[in-house]
Structure 1
Amino acid sequence: MDVLLHITTADAAPIAAGLGRALTSQEASWSCFLTNDGVKALDNADFAAASAGAARVVVCEHSWEHHMDSRACPAEQGSQTVNSALVAEAARIVSL
């Protein structure tokens, strides 16, 4: 994978949306891992649309439960172990 977006705050959603669109338009392979209140970025319509171009969108399952209550998760849920695997696969990491 070319780029991993590591999203740790909901405030990053507009930036992540722009980066995601740019990466997709350049045909880059990218994924994102959302943790802490960064899981709330999936409520941002622009980010949700941009993430359709990602190879994988993974949210920390514990962060999702903590910040999003019992709402259905629109992305893959995973652990910090999945996060570590994504980091290992990425050529570049952008932490937001």
Structure 2
Amino acid sequence: MNSVIFVLIYHLTSCACLYSCSYRTKLRRQLGLKQDPCNDCLVHFFCLRCALCQEYRELKSRGFNVEKGWDGNANLNREVAMAPKVEVDMKR
């Protein structure tokens, strides 16, 4: 259903980035990714195809079944691998 909405918005307004950037924000928050180099909506506005490919590769590399869509993977419990916190300064 989301893909139909995206295509309709894209063909009617040529500005589907307003719809798709919300999923980038949701993905970034869920996986603990930085918002870099700029705002999610700007990334989708200026380079929509690149942003969608990047998100696809990120999900695929983390083991998500992208064919199931966002809702199909929502119930999976995923842990984000994080580096351990260092309490003291590292010394040589």
- Interval of TM-score (by shorter of Structure 1 and Structure 2): under 0.3
- Higher relative contact order by CA 8 Å / sep ≥ 6: 1 or 2? 1
TM-score, normalised to structure 2's length? 0.26
| More strand as a share of residues | 1
| More helix as a share of residues | 2
Q: Larger radius of gyration, structure 1 or 2?
A: 2
